[in-house]
Structure 1
Amino acid sequence: MIPLIPDGEWYLPAGIYRTDLSEIEDRFVKEAPFPDERQRVFEAFKLWIALVRDLLPGARFWINGGFVTHKTWAAPSDVDVMILVKSVDVNALSESEQGRFEQLLTDTSGPRVQPMSGLVDAFVCFRGDVGDTVYWKELWAEVLDQDRKQIIGRKKGYLEVVL
């Protein structure tokens, strides 16, 4: 269950909150600022998550970024998402499936290319890789201000979806 955003804040209290797509739509599309812009991002995200689920049905998803806030100064341009998956499951994909999976991730090897026409910013974290998991947990708990500068001493929450 997604907790309420505290009065005077725009982000979730620190923690990881397990939820489902229906609750995300209610809280971060219908009840959030800029619902029309958010709806477009959410529709792309739902299709994206279905494509990942077709390839990796055991994956978990962490959802973060401006999409899971109630910022009043800017509509989210995308949804940030981390696919948590076992490396053995990715390695079991055929060559063709691995190619499809790679196209569902953000490519940062050159000019940044995000899937779903830039509406999803997606990365992968292998379950069981403690260092990688800790890195992403700490990074995603950071709170950024309107100028995208970290607010030291503050932590925010993000969402986890298990389909």
Structure 2
Amino acid sequence: MSYPDKPLLRAERVRYDYSPGQPVFEDVSLQIAPREILVLLGGSGCGKSTLLRLLAGLNRPSAGYVYFHDAPVERPHPRSALIFQQASLLPWLKVSDNVAYGLNFKHQPRISRAERNVRVTRALSAVGLSSHSKAWPTELSGGPGAAGCTGTGVGTSARTVVRG
């Protein structure tokens, strides 16, 4: 596989052990270029979500290395977003406010209210939820709820979005 752009996210010979000597997976290497979509397929319990947690910096590999913009990933990076596989919208915030929520985190660049509104509008449009912006999370079925979670990552300044 050729990478016309420099990889944004890279894993080299990654291994993860839940307990010493019992790897969930080992010798995993991959590169993800800007705007590239990568899909992990495998049976239940084979380590897909664990690998995503390593790529997002939530867990550290037992061996090997993960790099984001050529810097070692040792913790979550403010330009990276992880969207969990369970719908995790905050029930007391409307969909648009859930999407905007991450824009207020300490490590996110400060933006004006107008720029925040533009990002929220773009994120909701990107995931097909423009017409549900003022809905409560409980008013969304499974698919739109998952799309709302994806919108929370798309709305930030993240350069990479990892969805478990």
TM-score (norm 2): 0.29
Which of structures 1 and 2 has the bigger CA Rg?
2
Which is helix-richer, 1 or 2? 1
Give the structure-1-normalised TM-score.
0.29
Higher RCO (CA < 8 A, seq sep 6+):
1
